[in-house]
């Protein structure tokens, strides 16, 4: 026979599982929207880095130097002003290389690898500049991520349920 507390626990347990499934499905379905917004922000940052890098290439070419030699002349100059500009130029080169590699990795990642590709190529500055607006994406990819969210909710609520039921069963055995 079911006791009223058992019925209440089963009722709230069922509601908790459903709420967790809906929340995680909606959250997971947002990933393609965020990925696109992040990718667009990264593309803008990469384009700006590309412009700055091309400026360095042009200046170096006018002096018959490659970019590394050009920047090295600045960094190794005795004048602190030139050293400072050398550090700025070095940062420009590093940003260009990093953003280009990040963009290539994100663009070439298939849909099922995108969360890992984003985690490996995550940049807090790009994230801070990203203007993410949650939406209701109605794409196959968003549906797959929503399904993954539902499965994750089911696994988490099942594991939590086992943990609580297991500890409750042990306590009940101890009182007999």
Report pLDDT digits (tens) over 76-117: 999 999 999 999 999 999 999 999 999 999 999 998 899 999
Average the pLDDT over 55-72 and give the result: 94
What gap in Å lies between CA 121 and CA 114, rounded to an integer? 10
- Checking if the pLDDT of 51 tops 50, the result is yes
Q: Position of tokens 């797959």?
A: 144
What gap in Å lies between CA 143 and CA 32, rounded to an integer? 10
Examine residue 96 and state whether it is found in any structural domain, yes or no: yes
Prediction pTM value:
0.68
Residue 145: which residues within 8 A CB-CB, separation 6 or more? 28, 29, 31, 32
What gap in Å lies between CA 60 and CA 169, rounded to an integer? 75
pLDDT, one tens digit per residue, over 151-160 is: 787 777 777 7
Examine residue 69 and state whether it is found in any structural domain, yes or no: yes
Q: Which pLDDT score, from 0 to 100, does residue 10 have?
A: 56
Examine residue 1 and state whether it is found in any structural domain, yes or no: no
Radius of gyration over every alpha carbon of the chain, rounded to an integer in angstroms:
27
Chain centroid to CA 27: 13
Please give the DSSP secondary-structure letter assigned to residue 78.
S
Examine residue 5 and state whether it is found in any structural domain, yes or no: no
Examine residue 18 and state whether it is found in any structural domain, yes or no: no
- Checking if the pLDDT of 140 tops 70, the result is yes
What gap in Å lies between CA 42 and CA 51, rounded to an integer? 14
What gap in Å lies between CA 168 and CA 6, rounded to an integer? 12
Domains of the chain: total? 1
Examine residue 6 and state whether it is found in any structural domain, yes or no: no
Write down the mean pLDDT value for the chain: 83
Examine residue 170 and state whether it is found in any structural domain, yes or no: no
Q: Which pLDDT score, from 0 to 100, does residue 5 have?
A: 53
Q: Which domain holds residue 102?
A: 24-165
Examine residue 10 and state whether it is found in any structural domain, yes or no: no
């Amino acid at each position: 026979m079911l006791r009223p507390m058992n019925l209440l626990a089963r009722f709230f347990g069922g509601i908790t599982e459903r709420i967790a499934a809906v929340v995680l499905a909606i959250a997971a379905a947002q990933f393609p929207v965020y990925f696109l917004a992040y990718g667009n922000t990264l593309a803008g940052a990469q384009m700006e880095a590309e412009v700055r890098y091309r400026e360095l290439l042009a200046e170096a070419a006018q002096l018959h130097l490659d970019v590394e030699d050009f920047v090295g002349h600045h960094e190794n100059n005795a004048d602190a002003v030139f050293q400072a500009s050398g550090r700025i130029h070095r940062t420009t080169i590093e940003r260009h290389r990093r953003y280009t590699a990040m963009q290539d990795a994100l663009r070439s990642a298939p849909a099922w690898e995108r969360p890992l590709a984003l985690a490996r190529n995550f940049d807090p500055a790009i994230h801070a500049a990203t203007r993410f607006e949650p939406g209701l994406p109605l794409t196959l990819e968003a549906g797959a991520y929503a399904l993954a969210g539902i499965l994750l909710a089911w696994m988490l609520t099942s594991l939590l349920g086992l943990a609580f039921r297991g500890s409750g069963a042990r306590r009940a055995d101890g009182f007999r």
